[in-house]
Structure formats: C-alpha cells, structure tokens
Structure 1
Amino acid sequence: MGVQEPNPKPSKRLYFIDIARSIAILLMLQGHFVDTTLADEFRDPHYLAYTIWSYIRQFTATIFLTVTGIVFTYLLLNQRSEGYFQNQRIRKGFKRVIELLFWGYFLQPNAFHVLQCIALGLLLIMLFYGLSLSIKWIPLPFFFLLGGSLIFLSNLYFGGLKSDFYWPENAPTYIQNLFHGPNSIFPITPYLGFTLIGAFLGSMLVGIKNKIHSWKFILPSVVVGAAFLFLAKPLFLYLHNIPSLSPFKLYFLNWIFLKLGMVLLVLSSLIAIEAYLLRNITPNLFLKIGQNTLSIFIIHVFILYGPIINYSIKKYYNHSISAFWITPAAIGFVLIFVLYVYLLDRFRPTISNVLKPVRSLTNRFFGIQD
C-alpha cells in the first residue's frame, strides 16, 4: 500500500527556511553564551549534557550558511529580469555584501568570521549567476555544485596544515585569514562551500517549488542526509586504508559530509513539519526571529564580547558560571533577544520612519527601488 499524501498547498513563502534560521540563530546565541561563560571544570566530555551540547553546536553554523545560500538563490531566481543588473535581487545582494563586510570587520577587524564568509558566499553566488547568463549551455546549478565541491576538496590540503602554518605564506594577515591564518574563524575553505551547496539546493527548489512538500522530495532528502551522516566516516576510513588512496587523506572530508548530512536531515524534517503539521502556519514571533538574524548577531557580539565598549558578559563572567546556573543563564540570555524581536516588530513603523532617509540614500546608491 502506498503512502497517501494530503497534498498540502505550497505557500508563497517557504516557512521551513524561516524555522531553520530561527533555530540556528537561537542555537548560536546559547552556544556562544555557554562557550563563553561555562566554568572549565564542567567542560568534560564525561558529562552527558556537555557531550550532547557540543555535538549539537557543531552543526549550527553550517545550517545557517547553507540556509543563507538557499534563501538568496531562491529569491534571486524567482525574480528574473532581462539583464543582470536589472534584477533587483542582484542590487540588493551587493548592498548586503557591503553591509556584511562592514559589520564583520567593524566587530572583529583582525579576524575572518561568519559575516565575512557569508558576504563572499553571496558575492560568488551572484558571480555564478552572471556567468550562467553568458554561458547559457551550462545550467546554473552546475556552477554552484562544482564551486561548492571544489571548495570542499580544498580541505584535503588545508585540513592537513599545521595550526601555526599560515597560507598563503608571506601574505598579509587579513589575506591569510580568508584561507588558513592566525584568526581564521570561518575560512572560505571549506565554509564557503556550504553556502554554495545551499545555492545549489535553492536553485533546485525553484524548479520543483510545487513539489517541495511532497514525500517524493522529502524521503530522498532524508535518505541522502542519513547516508552522509552515518556512512561517510566508515566510507572515508575504508578509502584511507587503500594503499593507493592513503596519500590523499580523504578522511579530511569526513566532517564535511557529516555536517551536510545533518543539514539535509534538519531541512527535510522541517519541510515535513511545515507540510503536514503546520499547514496553516502564519507569521509569528518565532519566525520573525529568523528574519532578523543580522541585527541579532551584531547586538549579541556587543553584549557578549564588548568590542569598542569594553563592557561585556565575557569580561565579568568568562568561564565562571557553574553547571547548575548555566541553563537558566543561557535561557535568560536568549530571552533578551526574543524580547528584542518582539519590540522591534511592535515599533517597526516608527523605526522605519526614522531610518528612512538613510535607507533611501543607500538604496539610490545601489539603484534599488524603494
């Protein structure tokens, strides 16, 4: 007997993406807070709670990077135009790149962090989109898949570099940080690959937008995700033990496939939840958290690390909170930003009017229609 599907109507907005972004940003908030404040004596893998927390935390950034690629590409391809710069999404994309680079280096001028990585990811997506308009015989998804795969493969080299060896040698530190430098928090090799794989998924979703909520899409995504998550490690260990392949150190790719597998499982699960459990979902506070990630990230950096202001949670509570108090403290920290989003939404018309002159000026500079 086949699985009977309720044929949910596809919504204009893919709410599972907002759900994923909300989950990712909330996990980031608690993850950064716990990592900053938890006392050293409780950072023990023998503690089950700490082990679970550490395992979940490793997927937060990759989910967010992948979803960023999905969202930007999906919106870009749904607003086609006759020319490249005539596409408003391209103009908004360049504006976003400048914003991300500005805030990234403003908050952490000596590091290459997630905002800079996302900025370059968006820039590369727009470059590949432009190439696809000129080289029409090569499908756009191929550019994204090839680009992401090559960046992941570069980890065969960069993954084997010693922590005190910086690449390119003799290059300025801000260049080295892009690849393998003293302050490479989210280097483009391999993290930018997740954004490009997200772009690949986003470009595929455009072509099957009416089938996204079908089990014919969800089940294969679950199978592929589970295969990546559970079979990648034994496969790469097996390949590594083959004498002719051992020098290539293919096991350096294991963690990449592990993260991709978790991303696919999370997204396919959220698609199923949206399609079959939240069929009448409407905009709400939880979804709006995922729609305000940049401002949340900026504010949390100031509160937690205190750049410029020199007052921060880290300054007063660095590695000092006990396991008993860390959970209520982390919940309280997260609730600050839930309240922020609530107030932001409530006073959005007033804030929008105050910022309208600045927004209009920047929009005119990038040729964006108000």
Structure 2
Amino acid sequence: MDVNSNRLFFIDAMRAWAILMMLQGHFIDGLLDTLFRDPNNLFYITWRYFRGITAPVFFTVSGFIFTYLLIKAKEKGWKNPRVKKGIRRGLQLVLIGYLLRLNLFGLLIGEIYESFYLVDVLHCIGLSLIAIIAIYLISSNRNKYLFPSILLLSTLGLFLFEPYYKQWSFSFLPNAIANYFTKSNGSVFTIIPWLGYTTLGGFVSVLFTKFKDLKHFYPAAITTALGTGLLLIFTSSDGFVFLFEQTGIKLFKLIELNNYLFIRLGDVLLVFAVFMIFRSLMMNKTILKIGANTLSIYVIHFIILYGSFTGLGLYRFFHHQLSPIAVIIGAIAFIFVCTYLSLLYAKQELAIKNQLSIAYASIKQEAILLQKSVMPKSRFYLLKIRLRLLRLIRFVKN
C-alpha cells in the first residue's frame, strides 16, 4: 500500500479475514461431532487456538476503523458528523443483535424467549462504538494526548481487573441488563472485557493517523507489533508471576492463572504485523468487498446457521453431528454461500433502500390524508403499525 494513501487497505483485508475465520469457526464448533474434539489432536488444538484469535481481531479492527474515521474529520466534538453517525451505527448494531435473536413463532403465541435477551458480538461492538464516542467527546476540547491515553488505560484497566469483575453476578440488575456484564445467564460475549479490544483498536488508529505518512513508519510499526506481540504471548504470564512475587499483590497471580486476554492481545498484534508486511498484496477487490460487507455476512450466517426468526437453522438439525471431513467441506460451502449472498445483497442494497423510502413516503402520505377522514380504528392502527415497521427497517438499513 502506498503510505500516502488515505485508505488502509490492509485493515479492510484484516476485517475480511476475521469474518471468514468467524464463519468457519462458528460452523465447525457448532456442528463437529463431540467424538472428534480431541484435546490431544494437533489439528484440532491448532484450529481451536486460531479460532480464539478471531473475536479479538474483529473487535480490535472495528475499534480501529471507527476511530480512524472519527478523528479524521476536521470538525471537533458534537460538530463532528461522525459522532451522530457513530451513535446511530452503534444503536443499529444493538438493535440488529436483538432482532437476530427474535423468534417469530414465539411472538405468535405472545412470548419472548429468554434467549432474546442474551448478548452477542453485535451488541458489544455497538456499545463499544458508543463508548469510544463518549471518550472522544469528553476529551475533544482538552489535551490532544488525553483521548488516546483514556483509550489505552481503558484496555489495560479492563484486562487487569478481569479476575475480579468476572466473579460478580450483577444479580442486582434485571437479566436483560446484567447480560451485558456476565455470562452466567448464557450471553456469548459481554461488554467487559471485550470493550478493551475495541479501545485498543482506537488507540492504534490514533498512532496510524499521526505517524503513518512518516518515511519509516511501517518498518517501525511492524517491528513494534511483532516484538510486543511475541512478548505478550510467551512472557506475559511469567511477568505477572514475577510481579506477584515482588509485590505480593494477589491480582497478578489471578491474572497469570487465566492469562487469555493479554495472550490474545499478543495474537492481535502479530496479525496486525503480518497484514502490514503483506499490505501491498491486500488490494484484491473481492477481499475488500468482503471487508466492507461484514455486517451483512454476519446477519446472513446467523440466519442460516442458528435459524434467526424461525429457529430452523443448521444448528438445530446437525448440532455436534458431523464428521471432520463433512464439517470441513460444509464450512467451505458455508463461507461461499454467506459471502456470495452478502455481495449479491450489496449490489441490490441501493435499490432496496430506494424502494423502502418510496413505500414509507407513500404510506405516510396515506396516513395524513386518512387522518382527515373517517376511518375504522382497525385500519388506522394497521396503518400505524405499517409505518412503524417501515421506520424500523429504514433505521436498520441506513
């Protein structure tokens, strides 16, 4: 990539890689027969380790891209157009996260299942973007180093104190709120500690914004990412043991006992380094399109695999039933189908949005005219429901 380019293509490629890794990870983890989950099998443990890298990379890249665009704007504070766009985007992701867990058959009998309130990737990324905006607004009119400092300290704080807050039940909160902070009710992800990877991505994006045009930036960035990543992976646990022995602070020992956050942070930095090294090869149009359409890919994969809205997904029929050969072939086909449908949708998205706008305007005009005339209450309420549904769809689409 040309260092003078405003677009960081290797970041788009990282996002594409992360979403494809997520597709195969969810497919294999959900459908592979338990008989083949051998912790002594080299292929299985290698796959499981790399699967664990996917979410940290995805959260980090999301924070990077969002913050990079946020701070590139000339306007500051609330005048920055990216602030309102970001809040809207964050709320959209949370809303889509809930919609994907909605069961239409349950609604028909007037019941919302508990799984609807569980928190997943989209909820956490949506709230993480809003959190970054809050940090940005707090620090926008102050020292220029305050924003990146708060981002970095947020990551360190969330990672260091995870052994303490992961034990909290948050039982004083309603389950729908507690699910954002604890996995005890079945949430897949929680805002803490995963916000930490997003704020890390934001911090790294600030560094790129300030220094990427320097002559030797990329060699220095690659060396730093490689060195720091390897240190975190191979020495951070020993480092926390040393700190415990020197200070007697129990927290350091607790971190060492389950040091996944800092090790995965090292993995993220290594992935950054690899993609920066090969950044000149990251301009393939298909890869960039996949990176630009990760949300639609995620939604499509969720519907096919987990059966959003109907409960009739692959997970229901083949949960932990496939052999290694079948699951590998299936994962490849699953990746192809999800990406193909996403790219096909992307081609039609503008036309879909235009049709929604036309339909919304038509129904709204009808409502205005009918309000002036006598009409059955049932028809009036039906019209209001149609308007609200279209308003909701437009909100999600935009």
Q: Please give the TM-score of this superposition, normalised by the length of structure 2.
A: 0.81
Are 1:140 and 2:147 an aligned pair? yes
Cα pair 1:155 1:253 within 8 Å, conserved: no
Distance in 1 between residues matched to 2:89 and 2:218, nearest whole Å: 33
Q: Which residue of 2 aligns with 1:4?
A: none
Contact kept, 8 Å, 1:117 with 1:186, in 2: the verdict is yes
**How far apart in 2 are the matches of 1:286 and 1:247?**
42
Instruction: Quote how far apart the aligned CAs of 1:341 are.
Output: 3.5
Give the TM-score normalised by structure 1: 0.87
Distance 2:217 2:352 in 1: 36
Identity %: 34
Match of 1:307 in 2: 308
Mapped partners of 2:344, 2:266: distance in 1: 36
Distance of aligned partners of 1:321 and 1:253 in 2 relative to their CA distance in 1, 3 Å threshold:
closer
SS in structure 2 at match of 1:210: coil
Residue number in structure 1 paired with 2:51: 57
Is the CA contact (8 Å cut-off) linking 1:100 and 1:118 kept in structure 2?
A: yes
Q: Which residue of 2 aligns with 1:225?
A: 229
Partners of 1:209 and 1:354 in 2: how far apart? 42
Do the aligned partners of 2:91 and 2:127 also contact (CA within 8 Å) in 1?
no
Q: Mean alpha-carbon deviation: is it higher for 231-240 or for 255-264? A: 231-240
Q: Could you list the runs of 5+ residues in structure 1 that have no partner in the other structure?
A: 1-6
What amino acid is the match of 1:89? Answer: R
In structure 2, the CA distance between the partners of 1:350 and 1:293, relative to structure 1 (3 Å rule), is same
- Aligned partner of 1:333 in structure 2 is 334
Whole-angstrom distance in 1 between the partners of 2:209 and 2:151: 14
Looking at structure 2, the residues matched to 167 and 268 of structure 1 have their Cα atoms a distance apart, in angstroms, of 38
Separation in structure 1 between the aligned mates of residue 337 and residue 311 of structure 2, nearest angstrom: 20
Question: 3-state SS of the aligned residue for 1:307?
Answer: coil
Among candidates 255, 258, 261, match of residue 256 of structure 1: 261
1:113 to partner: Cα distance: 1.1
Paired residue for 2:105?
Answer: none
Mean CA deviation greater in 60-69 or 186-195: 186-195
Is residue 63 of structure 2 the alignment partner of residue 69 of structure 1?
yes
Name the residue aligned to 2:272. 267
What amino acid does structure 2 have at the position aligned with 1:287? L
Distance 1:253 1:317, change over 3 A: closer
In structure 1, the partner of 2:220 is 216
> Which of 180, 198, 201 lines up with 1:195 in the alignment?
198
- Residue 173 of structure 1 corresponds to 175
1:68 touches 1:198 (CA, 8 Å); kept in 2? yes
Question: What is the aligned partner in structure 2 of residue 244 from structure 1?
Answer: 248
Query: C-alpha offsets along residues 36-66 of structure 1, whole Å, 9 cap, x if unaligned?
Result: 1101101111222211110101110000000
Q: Are 1:151 and 1:190, in contact at CA under 8 Å, matched by a contact in 2?
A: yes
User: Superposed, which structure 2 residues align to 1:1-370 within 5 Å?
Assistant: 8-81=2-75, 83-108=76-101, 109-136=116-143, 138-159=145-166, 161=167, 167-180=169-182, 181-211=184-214, 214-241=218-245, 244-246=248-250, 248=252, 249-251=254-256, 254-275=259-280, 278=281, 282=283, 284-355=285-356
Pair 1:9–1:190, CA change in 2 (3 A): closer
Contact kept in structure 1, 2:120 and 2:187, CA below 8 Å: yes
RMSD: 2.6
Query: How has the CA–CA distance of structure 1 residues 357 and 123 changed in structure 2, closer, same or farther, with 3 Å as cutoff?
Result: farther
CA deviations on 1:156-187 (whole Å, 9 max, x unpaired) are 3034x2xxxx5223321122212124123211
Shift, 1:270, TM fit: 0.5
Q: How far apart are residue 208 of structure 1 and its match?
A: 0.9
Task: Report the Cα offset of residue 345 of structure 1.
Answer: 4.3
Kindly provide the CA deviation profile for residues 295-320 of structure 1, in whole angstroms up to 9, marking residues without a partner as x.
Answer: 11111111111132121101111111
Over residues 319-367 of structure 1, what are the superposed CA-to-partner deviations in whole Å (9 max), with x where a residue is unaligned? 11011211111101011022123423444553453355599998xx99x
Amino acid at match of 2:130: L
Quote the offset at 1:287 in angstroms. Answer: 1.5
Query: 2:384 maps to which residue?
Result: none
Question: How many angstroms does 1:138 deviate by?
Answer: 5.0
- 2:160 touches 2:255 (CA, 8 Å); kept in 1? no
Q: Is the 8 A contact 1:226 1:261 kept in 2?
A: yes
2: CA distance, partners of 1:359 / 1:12: 37
Q: Secondary structure at the match of 1:354?
A: helix
CA distance in 1: counterparts of 2:68 and 2:144, whole angstroms: 21
The 2-side partners of 1:340 and 1:308 are apart by 18
With over 3 angstroms needed to count, the CA separation of the structure-2 counterparts of 1:120 and 1:274, relative to structure 1, is same
Query: Cα distance 1:84–1:246, how it changes in 2: closer, same or farther (>3 A)?
Result: closer
| Change beyond 3 A, Cα 1:345–1:117 | closer
- Larger Rg computed on CA atoms: 2
Q: Aligned in 2, Cα 1:33/1:240: closer, same or farther, shift over 3 Å?
A: same
Q: How many residues align?
A: 350
CA distance in 1, matches of 2:194, 2:3: 34
The answer to which structure has the higher helix fraction is 2
The amino acid of 2:180's aligned partner reads L
Deviation at 1:155, TM superposition (A): 0.2
